[in-house]
Amino acid sequence: MSNFDVIVLGSGPGGYVTAIRASQLGFKTAIIEKESLGGVCLNWGCIPTKALLKSAQVFNYLKHAEDYGLSAENVDKDFDAVVKRSRGVAEGMSKGVQFLMKKNKIEVIKGYGTLKAGKKVSVKDADGKETEYSADHIIIATGARSRELPSLPQDGKKIIGYREAMTLKEQPKSMVVVGSGAIGIEFAYFYNAMGTEVTVVEYLPNIVPVEDEDISKQLERSLKKSGIKIKTSAEVTSVDTSGDGIKATVKTAKGEEVIEADIVLSAVGIKTNIENIGLENVGISTDRDKILVNNYYQTNIPGYYAIGDVTPGQALAHVASAEGILCVEKIADMHVEPLDYGNIPGCTYCSPEIASVGLTEKQAREKGLDIKVGKFPFSASGKAKAAGTPDGFVKVIFDAKYGEWLGCHMIGAGVTDMIAEAVVARKLETTGHEILKAVHPHPTMSEAVMEAVAAAYDEVIHL
């Protein structure tokens, strides 16, 4: 039996980052992975979807070349080539993780890992051979998968999840997307841009329901403008797959209607991968599909830890990475502070993009806070107008008394790269006046942040 200081179960952006940081801190480290290094994010999520979305964006540019004084004739797409490019990007990133494992002298153990009592993990390889490993510290980072609803049993052909949506052999002529979170909206945008007729069905009153209501409403307008049909406060109660395509029965306030399409994409959230990994062998406590941990990701059983989607925090790649680093630094007796889950940025990569951090206006008012709210539209931004991307705005929320930056919400081109300013500023407890006096470069999209802050304090110049 091989002995390690740290064993990480799962190699997603939580797992492989954790393993690298552990190795950097001098721990003899191993990582166990049953599929490809990089997990869902690198292979079936964050990275390949961005490749698909970039192809959609370029296709859109070509179709609207005249808007930029250019001419592009006979513009068309090769759907298979678009998918192949996406897969190539994912494979390249996975190989990059392989390189990082070698560089950091981390032992990669291929196979399915099952936790055992006594700080041990049993790994079954592709040939069915089982090998047992031990470690002083075992970190669970097994992630999550597409959640299935009883009314939407995925068959991988007519009712699909995100993995199938990335690798369809043929582009569907029509699609129903159930769920309007980041996954649903990104695929809705991609397929619509490629020419598929898309209908989005959302159970709650607003699409992207975790976002500020102003953001949700603006995105709905933008998506409808691009031809996407949106049904909110609606529920798919059943799907008939007996014919050539599908017939989805949708219940709304007005009654029931049937939508016919080629395929249904179920994007109704995620289900954690905590079954059959041996939690019961060890006695690790769970609640509502999540592994219970303390502020430093220790479970109730000494020597066992959990990070990422399997824990109660936000199910985001950057959260998993941050949790993993914090976890091993605590193991190494470094001085660390618990993660501030109120300052986690969220991003959705449709067009226009969405990025946000902190409280929404509604949440701030529900807390009874006296607030200042500022908005600045990209239609008043010289850079946005020159780039042909005037849709959207920046919205900021400040505490009226102390100037604390309570929330920042953006919708527009490139805002997923801009949100970091607000995250860092909030981390440093920067006030609105300090943002106003920090000179922002002109012409840039980021000027809109300063202008939105100025609007909150009745000092806006360009609006």
pLDDT in tens, 447-457: 999 999 999 99
Is 180 flagged in the annotation as binding? yes
Please say which residue of 240, 268, 296 terminates a domain: 268
Task: List the helix and strand counts (H, then E) for the chain.
Answer: 15, 24
> Is residue 237 in some structural domain?
yes
pLDDT in tens, 106-121: 999 999 999 999 999 9
Is 324 flagged in the annotation as binding? no
The pLDDT confidence band at residue 199, using thresholds 50, 70 and 90, is: very high
**224 lies in the same domain as 242:** yes
**103 lies in the same domain as 39:** yes
pLDDT in tens, 415-439: 999 999 999 999 999 999 999 999 9
Average pLDDT of the segment spanning 36-52 = 89
Q: Domain holding 258: CATH number?
A: 3.50.50.60
Catalytic status, residue 442 = yes
Please say which residue of 341, 360, 389 terminates a domain: 341
**367 lies in the same domain as 404:** yes
141 contacts: CB under 8 Å, gap ≥ 6:
8, 9, 10, 11, 12, 14, 15, 18, 306, 307, 308, 310, 320, 324
* Structural tokens at position 43: 């292979």
Say how far apart CA 143 and CA 33 lie, in whole Å.
Answer: 12
Q: Which one is catalytic: 64, 433, 442, 462? A: 442
pLDDT at 39 > cutoff 90 = no
Is 113 flagged in the annotation as binding? yes
> Is residue 152 in some structural domain?
no
Say how far apart CA 419 and CA 403 lie, in whole Å.
Answer: 19
Q: Which H or E run contains 284?
A: none
**262 lies in the same domain as 283:** no
Is 183 flagged in the annotation as binding? yes
Is 224 flagged in the annotation as binding? no
Q: Do residues 400 and 370 make contact, with C-beta atoms less than 8 angstroms apart?
A: yes
pLDDT at 43 > cutoff 90 = no
Task: Give residue 18's pLDDT.
Answer: 98
**22 lies in the same domain as 130:** yes
The backbone region for 363, taken as left when phi is positive above 0, alpha when psi lies in -120 to 50, beta otherwise, is: alpha
What total number of domains does the chain contain?
Answer: 3
Q: What are phi and psi of 432, to 5 degrees?
A: -60, -40
Average pLDDT of the segment spanning 362-383 = 97
Say how far apart CA 35 and CA 90 lie, in whole Å.
Answer: 13
pLDDT in tens, 339-349: 999 999 999 99
Is 120 flagged in the annotation as binding? no
> Is residue 228 in some structural domain?
yes
* Structural tokens at position 261: 């399409």
Domain holding 410, by residue range, is 352-456
Task: Give residue 286's pLDDT.
Answer: 97
Question: Which stretches of 66-181 are DSSP H helices?
Answer: 79-103, 162-165
* Structural tokens at position 208: 């992207």
Q: Do residues 422 and 342 make contact, with C-beta atoms less than 8 angstroms apart?
A: no
Average pLDDT of the segment spanning 169-186 = 96
Say how far apart CA 319 and CA 339 lie, in whole Å.
Answer: 9
pLDDT in tens, 300-339: 999 999 999 999 999 999 999 999 999 999 999 999 999 9
Helix 182-194 vs helix 46-63: angle between axes, to the nearest 10 degrees?
40
The number of C-alpha atoms within 13 Å of 430 and in the hemisphere containing its C-beta is: 19
Q: What is the mean pLDDT of the chain?
A: 95
The pLDDT confidence band at residue 8, using thresholds 50, 70 and 90, is: very high
pLDDT in tens, 55-72: 999 999 999 999 999 999
SS (H, E, C) 353-366: EEEEEECCHHHHHH
> Is residue 196 in some structural domain?
yes
